[in-house]
Amino acid sequence: MESQKIGRREFLKGLAAGTVALAGLGVVRRPAPASEETPASSYKWVMVIDQAKCTGCGYCTLACRAHNDVPPDISWNRVIAAGQVGGKKVFLPRPCMHCEHPPCVEVCPVRATYRRADGIVMMDYSRCIGCRYCEVACPYGARAFNWDEFTGPNPAVPTWGQPEVPRRPRGVVEKCSFCFQRIDRGLARGLVPGVDPEATPACVVACPVKARIFGNLNDPDSEVSQLLARSPSYRLREDLGTAPRVYYLPAREETVSTVSSRPAPLARQEVTR
């Protein structure tokens, strides 16, 4: 499978090089190395979301909006009502899945979206041409296009945090980045993402019921590794072969009943459906 893919890539590259040479365009830069070719990282960032704990308060969405300066009409992180278990409402918070085989990265014509060695699917907002192919390709609806310019103050700031990344221009696609800026700055300061709040995605830190756990799956002692080793979990649309790095611990009757429902009227409007 992997070798087949590379075979096709090499074929297309050769083909492209040939056709370009034909047109006499010799000034084209080599593309950055593809995600599969990048060296393995010691980090494998994953997020675990415990549906038994999530109360659908929407704090994560708002914290995300503030820290990433996301406009009010876009949610990088959506909380979706997902039926009932044991008489209690169940929710499904949906960040970007940071797939191991991301369809968006494959289809982007300009490599504006790419996969880092640690697995974070990134956006290069200065390269995106706004064709929205990634949006059409994403199975999770995790991408949003900036149909309009986001001007003026962000209503989520400062209540839910301070922006840590530049605001995106009109005409590009944006999405959740696992708060790469917090991870990178935290690691540089010797902090541990998933343990130290400053190095952990804003949604994880903001969750009042600790329904989100973040960490390094390459570290067998990390909380995410421990949790996934002992609890049954699932990922969204595993049949597509995207291999998401967001794991869900399902709400079961015996787990959901032990958690008290904490209403959070402030942010309830963030829940979809």
Q: Which residues bind other proteins (CB under 8 A)?
A: 9, 12-13, 16, 19-20, 22-23, 25, 28-31, 34, 80, 82-83, 92, 94, 103, 105-112, 127-133, 135-141, 143-149, 169-173, 234, 236-237, 240-241, 248, 250
For strand 173-174 and strand 144-145, is the pairing parallel, antiparallel, or unpaired?
A: antiparallel
Smallest gap from Cβ 80 to other proteins, in A, equals: 7
Which residue is associated with the tokens 């974070």? 120
Q: Which is nearer to other proteins, 27 or 188 (CB)?
A: 27
Closest separation between CB of residue 28 and other proteins, Å? Answer: 7
- Nearest distance from residue 207's CB to other proteins, in Å? 20
CB nearer to other proteins: give 189 or 237: 237
Q: Which CB, 29 or 265, lies closer to other proteins?
A: 29
Report DSSP letters for 68-130, one per residue. TT--TT--SSEEEEEEEETTEEEEEEE-----SS-HHHHH-TT--EEE-TTS-EEE-TTT---
User: Cβ of residue 108: shortest distance to other proteins, in angstroms?
Assistant: 6
- Least Å distance, CB 31 to other proteins, is 4
Strands annotated E in the chain: 45-50, 78-85, 88-94, 113-115, 121-123, 144-145, 173-174, 212-216, 246-249, 271-272
Residue 211: both structure tokens together? 């329904």
Of the two residues 92 and 202, which places its CB atom closer to other proteins in the complex?
92
Shortest CB 193 distance to other proteins, Å: 26
Structure tokens that stand for 205 in this block: 């830190």
**Would you say 163 or 169 has its CB closer to other proteins?**
169
Instruction: Return the number of the residue (240 or 266) whose C-beta is nearest other proteins.
Output: 240
Closest to 112 measured CA to CA, from 164, 175, 66, 65 = 175
**Rg (the chain; Cα; Å):** 20
Contact between 189 and 200 (Cβ < 8 Å): no
